[in-house]
Amino acid sequence: MSKQIVHGDQCRKKIIEGINVVANAVGITLGPKGRCVAIEQSYGPPKITKDGVSVAKAIQLKDKSLNVGAQFVISVASKTADVAGDGTTTATVIADAAVRELNKAEVAGIDIQEVRKGAEKAVEAVIADVRKNSSPVKNEEEIAQVATVSSNGDREIGEKIANAMKQVGQEGVITVEDSKNFNFEVEVVKGMRFDRGYISQYFATNREKMITEFENPYILLLDQKVSTVQPLVPVLEAVAHTGKPLVLIADDVDGEALTALILNNLKGSIKVVAVKAPGFGDRKKEMLEDIAILTNGEVITEQLGIKLEKVNDTSKLGTANRVIVTKDHTTIVHDKNNSDIEKKVNSRCEQIREAIKDTTSDYEKEKLQERLAKLRNGVAVLKVGGATEVEQKERKDRVEDALHATRAAVEEGIVPGGGVALFYASRVLDSLKFDNEDQRVGINIIKKVLEAPVRQIVKNAGGKEDVVVNELSKSNDKNRGFDARTMQYVDMIKAGIVDPTKVVRTALQDAFSVASLVIATSAMITDHEEDNNTGNRSGGGVGGGHHGGMGGMDF
């Protein structure tokens, strides 16, 4: 395929234009009066959302040069979502403003490298000030406030998330799923989460969120590494006959075995996900046993005389109501009404308590307490309902955003919301030292850029941006801000309008990082437009050998 190369001013112009297209679509969602965006789906009704990263990821521009710019800002939203779980719209708005202001400086002939140095100093100073003025989350009401703001002012969502955290602890496991009715409910069930995700991204069933979700799967627990597929064939065939998915938790899965599992998963021969077992050494064996007890299964280990190739039915496999696997975590949710499992879990918890009493190692005690918490606390499930599928999905998106924001708040604390934390933090730049005038330009650029979130919130509410910015500039109270819902100036903390410190910090860091890259770019290479209409090309798939097995499966 032939390529086209764009240089200099034309390159920068196209990139900035592409960034602006995405920023305009994402920016309208910011604040309590931000608007929703309808996203066309490949089938079914459109997706209605205010989630910045969902809007950004849905954008694919026809003009290849513009799309390069779009991808820059999409990467900002994605990275912010990955790190903080929220703040993607704020990051996008800041990145757009930063790119435009930095470009003006370069067009004016100012040394852009020195400008970037000054801007970098400014970002570091602002983040330090935001952290200094952060307050820890102290109670259930503050948790509810964070969740309410992040869910677009939905107090019910805020209260449900606060209730869920109260039941399983602030660091407990909380998942979100569809309700079978119109109601929004919190249910605490048996389950656990451990810090291991899928071995390959090809196992993801939801490509947008890059997660695997299975309902009523079998769970195969292996205390061994699997490199060849042949020992797995009997149990895979047994599971395939049931039509249910399989979660394989093992020391590791690689080589031919991994290739065959991915191939059959992509073909739909069997739904499967492979996950590395949590822990190391003896602790790994104990955690596998914990999972076995929770799922009513057995750990397949040759130490007990059980060989994998001899497992040819599902009798030794565990089960669960639901399993969610991300790149970093695996969550197992089980039916709380199973009395046999309840008894086994209680007995296992008692064993762990005795081990805690007997150990003299602080480290060992900490790890045992972690295991006990995983088994004892269970999983809080937020069941989200709605009158229609579109309404349910939109609300579920807001619940997930609010949950991410709440976790970020618990981790690093909270600051006044509505964009004022960054707005007031910019005042530290008045006394920031610089080495030359070009660096001062960079510092002033960041100061101006930090007005962008406030301006966008006011704009979306139909207010006058300059009037609000001017009014806040006169204030000596760092908690004073503009409540876009009531169109009044209020004490943001007292009004319950707060943002997680981690979200604010990450949004600024990621936005400046990408803006800095954009301004350092002077050429781009894209496919020629005419080459895109030459017909479909068959892509390479995941290969796998054939070693016999049931029809339709590749082993």
- Specify binding-site residues: 29-32, 50, 86-90, 418, 499
CB 496 within 8 A of CB 505: no
Q: How many Cα atoms occupy the beta-carbon half-sphere of 311 within 13 Å?
A: 25
Q: Which residue has the tokens 């929220």?
A: 86
Q: Which residues pair with 38 in a beta bridge?
A: 48
Name the β-bridge partners of 5.
525
Under DSSP, the state recorded for 226 is E
CA 355 to chain centre: 36
Helix/strand/coil percent split, the chain, to 5: 50, 15, 30
Which own/partner pairs from 164-172 qualify as long-range (CB within 8 Å, at least 24 positions apart)?
164/188, 164/380, 164/382, 165/140, 165/380, 165/406, 165/410, 166/140, 167/380, 168/377, 168/378, 168/379, 168/380, 169/373, 169/377, 170/137, 170/143, 170/410, 171/410, 172/373, 172/377, 172/378, 172/379, 172/380
C-beta of residue 274 within 8 angstroms of C-beta of residue 248: yes
Contact by Cβ (8 Å): 377, 172: yes
Task: Please tell me whether residue 499 adopts helix, strand or coil conformation.
Answer: strand
Q: In angstroms, rounded to a whole number, what is the distance separating the alpha carbons of residues 128 and 134?
A: 10
CB atoms within 10 A of CB 207: 8
Q: Binding site for ATP: which residues?
A: 29-32, 50, 86-90, 418, 499
Rounded-to-integer distance, Cα 344 and Cα 293, Å = 6
Q: Which two tokens stand for residue 398?
A: 């807001």
Which residues fall within 8 angstroms of residue 532, CB to CB, at 6 or more apart?
Answer: none
How is residue 136 written in tokens?
A: 């820890």
- Any alpha helices (H) in 3-154, and if so which ranges? 8-27, 52-57, 64-84, 88-107, 112-132, 140-150
The answer to whether 212 and 241 have CB atoms below 8 angstroms apart is no
Question: Which phi-psi region, left, alpha or beta, contains residue 146 (left: φ > 0; alpha: ψ -120 to 50)?
Answer: alpha
Q: Distance between CA 167 and CA 336 in Å, rounded?
A: 15
Residues ≥6 apart with Cβ < 8 Å to 118: 434, 438, 439, 440, 441, 442, 443, 445
Q: Phi, psi at residue 26, to the nearest 5°?
A: -75, -40
